[in-house]
Amino acid sequence: MSETTTTTQEVPAEIERFDIIFRIQHVLMFTTFLLLSFTGWGLKFAHEPQGLSSVWIRVWGGAETAGLIHRIAGIGMLLDFIWHVIYLAYLFATKQMTINLKTTVIPLPKDVVDVVKNFMYFLGLSKEKARFGRFSYAQKFDYWAVFWGMFIIGFSGYALAFPMQVSYIIPQFASEWIWQLLWLMHSDEALLAIVFILFWHFYNEHLKPEVFPMSWIWITGKISTEKLKHHHPIEYEFLFPEAAKKNKKH
């Protein structure tokens, strides 16, 4: 990302990890996600537990209003996703972002090795934790889960919200089964997304002792170099090679 760092001697106290646009995109993503989860949950479990979902949906203003909230939040999330992709394309086009194996969010074979290494460590089979670049496998998993969700849940959701418009573009041979498939995809993968956020994202970014109550990067966008060195040593060495070398000597 920043080619100039190789020449700087000074190590700043903190560096920017996510710029303001990424942070806004994240806020939009999680507000729409929460709205969608809350309203969608009532519909997915409409019949059970007995009558409770009706009460829950009434909290959201009744079935019509909850449906409207769900659709608006869904469109908001899709737009947010599209904005993110366009912004990434812009960063690449203007060379503000380049792909580097040490800083990329793209999954690499190293990530599988890291998972195995960490499991060994958890089980006491190894004394070494995996060393991460800019993004750990947990963070990459978090990031790409949203992409998976946008393709599976987002587009099926769009088709279900605007079935008439979408019906014109679906092929004739698929019309008999595609609607049921879309509905199953939307509902099952949404449950997966909620479970994923509840366990994975909440543990890693909220409940873990070292970040509790939350990692503040989502507001400040900044990470202290101390933390960077500790949690993302490969990125630290990449950004501040001289300082890293000095540290090793000491």
Partner 1 sequence: MVSQLLKYIILTKSFSCSLEQKSHIIEVLMSNSRFLFIVVPLLFLAVLVMPTPGACQESANCLACHSAMKGKIKNAGGAMVELNVDADKFGASKHGALSCTDCHMRFADNPHSTPSGDVPQAVLALSSKIASKFKVDPVAGAACSTCHEEVYKMVLGSVHGKNIVDKHQMDGALCLDCHGSPHYITSVKDESSPMSRKHQVETCGKCHGDKKIIEKYKLEENVMESYEESFHGRKLFLGHTKAPTCSSCHSSHDIRSKTDPASPVFGKNKLVTCGKCHKGANEKFVPAITHKRPGPIPHYGEKLLIILTIGVFAFIVIHVLLEAFADIRDAIFRKKEEEE
Q: Which residues sit at the interface with partner 1, rule CB under 8 A?
A: 42-43, 46-47, 53-54, 57-58, 62-64, 66-67, 118-119, 121-124, 160, 163-164, 167-168, 170, 172, 175-177, 179-181, 183-185, 188-189, 191-192, 195-196, 199-200, 203-204, 208-209
User: In the complex, what is the shortest distance from the CB of residue 180 to partner 1, in angstroms, rounded to a whole number?
Assistant: 4
Separation of alpha carbons 124 and 138, rounded Å: 20
- Cβ closest to partner 1, residue 104 vs residue 204: 204
User: In the complex, what is the shortest distance from the CB of residue 80 to partner 1, in angstroms, rounded to a whole number?
Assistant: 23
- Cβ closest to partner 1, residue 67 vs residue 76: 67
- Cβ closest to partner 1, residue 78 vs residue 115: 115
User: In the complex, what is the shortest distance from the CB of residue 131 to partner 1, in angstroms, rounded to a whole number?
Assistant: 16
SS3 for 51? coil
- Cβ closest to partner 1, residue 28 vs residue 152: 152
Question: Tokens 């963070």 label which residue?
Answer: 139
Separation of alpha carbons 205 and 189, rounded Å: 22
User: In the complex, what is the shortest distance from the CB of residue 114 to partner 1, in angstroms, rounded to a whole number?
Assistant: 12
> What does the CA dihedral 82, 84, 90, 95 come to, rounded to 10 degrees?
-150
Instruction: Please name the residues in contact with 70: beta carbons below 8 A apart, sequence gap of 6 or more.
Output: 35, 36, 39, 40, 43
- Cβ closest to partner 1, residue 117 vs residue 239: 117
User: In the complex, what is the shortest distance from the CB of residue 209 to partner 1, in angstroms, rounded to a whole number?
Assistant: 6
Instruction: Please name the residues in contact with 246: beta carbons below 8 A apart, sequence gap of 6 or more.
Output: none
- From the list 149, 143, 139, the residue with the least C-alpha distance to 115 is 139
User: In the complex, what is the shortest distance from the CB of residue 204 to partner 1, in angstroms, rounded to a whole number?
Assistant: 8
**149: its two tokens:** 């969700």
Separation of alpha carbons 25 and 28, rounded Å: 5
> What does the CA dihedral 102, 140, 80, 227 come to, rounded to 10 degrees?
-70
- Cβ closest to partner 1, residue 79 vs residue 184: 184
